[in-house]
Amino acid sequence: MYETTRTTQALAFAILLAPAISHAADSAPSTITQSSSGISSAAIAKPALPASLTAVKADDYKDPDLWARIRSGYAIPDVDNALVAKHIQWYASRPDYLARTSGRASLYLYHVVQELEKRGMPTELALLPVIESAFNPQALSTADASGLWQFVPGTGKDFNLKQNMFKDERRGVLASTDAALTYLQRLYTMFGDWQLALAAYNWGEGNVQKAIQKNRAAGKPTDFESLAELMPAETRNYVPKLQAVKNIIANPGQYGVSLPVIDNQPYFTTVDKTSDIDLAVAAQLAEMSIDEFKALNPQFKKPVITGESTKILLPKENAEKFHLNLAQWGHALSSWTTHKITGARETIASLASKFGTTPEVIRQANNIPPQMRLKAGSTILVPKTSTSTASDIAENIIDNAQIALEADRGDSKRKGQKLSGAQRIKASAANAVAEIKARVSRGNKPALNSHGRKHR
């Protein structure tokens, strides 16, 4: 197994090898996952920042500690109120939480800071994923908001984050960071105020505009704190939470916090994928464990990495090993292809027999719950056989493949068996989940929540 020479990397990988921590379980009280984009695809463009904000060259920073580099770029006016004090106390009293979050952040933080500086944006925005996801790219909210920056399917689609059977770019480090910073830039251009831009990132720009109009009509100020009483609790706490994290990073000793060192240098580099490759093979060629590989490439949902323009992220040392090992690799890179279900006669058992595998392998590769069967028209992953095509999975299949499931009642009846009450309930629940996933994969946007806005 690959052993890194840097203490920070070792800490990060050790943490990442632990079971994934959900957004709900591994975040501060009243974790904020609600927001609105309220934007159409046509409205999205990378706006120019006001002249007061200018991009900074990465070479200007020579400090070996990335935290110091972040501190040097703070530019958002401070908030100082009881909510900030409350959240400082929460974070400072949980050193284990901060250690886990910092360990995960050590893989991605340099890239985020670098992208902020390129755009001339305040560097404390690099701390926003602490609030959104605790820097867990696999974080998933109850509203199906996903990734470091917590995009819901609809808003992710607005920002061209691909979501299909094979990958979800809301989880991808490069694509989601670019989308989040583009959105934040757009909001700052709209409001001319970073605190209001952050409120809009959480609550939606339409809601912030309405609050501004209401206060303006009443002759009241329209800054963040003056609008706070009009905001839901999630948004009232959003900017104070970021301020709390910002304060702790600025002066950890004051709050009894010890921050792990994060090196001020790139953690990963990109590798172009030239053909379909099994995720396990890619990790093997890079001399990394599956968990290490997935930590940098969380967008891949299947055991095979597809797509013509797909990039893989690897630590520099592992990228070199990947290229060397690939040049000497004498086996097939991909062992998977796709198959389209034509009718009810194609059961999972018959498919397993046809493709020389087991029903369990097919179910696991395609996330098919027990007691569910495939509907006609579904496209699934199956192992390649001697008669299978040797070509890569086509782009039109990657973009359009869907799986539709239904309860497997017919097979039980044919065998003269009946599902128990518990089995029927389980099958019904699984069917409902499958239908929700199918709607999400088709790009259906979530319903408005109780505040009349979408979750981001």
Q: What spatial distance separates the first Cα and last Cα of the chain, rounded to whole Å?
A: 38
CA dist 279 to 38, 43, 163, 166, 298, Å?
Answer: 36, 36, 18, 12, 11
| Strand, helix or coil for residue 304 | strand
153 neighbors 140 (Cβ within 8 angstroms) = no
153 neighbors 456 (Cβ within 8 angstroms) = no
Pairing status of strand 304-305 against strand 277-278: antiparallel
Interatomic CA distance for residues 116 and 119, integer angstroms:
5
Active site residues: 132
Interatomic CA distance for residues 297 and 311, integer angstroms:
9
Which residue in 374, 348, 373, 371 sits closest to 422, CA to CA? 371
Radius of gyration of the chain (CA): 24
**151-188 as b/e, with b when 16 or more CB fall inside 10 Å?**
bbbbbbbbbebbbbbbbbbbbbbbbbbbbbbbbbbbbb
Which residue in 180, 200, 179, 181 sits closest to 190, CA to CA? 200
CA triple 78-202-67, angle to 5 deg? 45
Question: Which distant-in-sequence residues (6+ apart) come within 8 Å of 429 by Cβ?
Answer: none
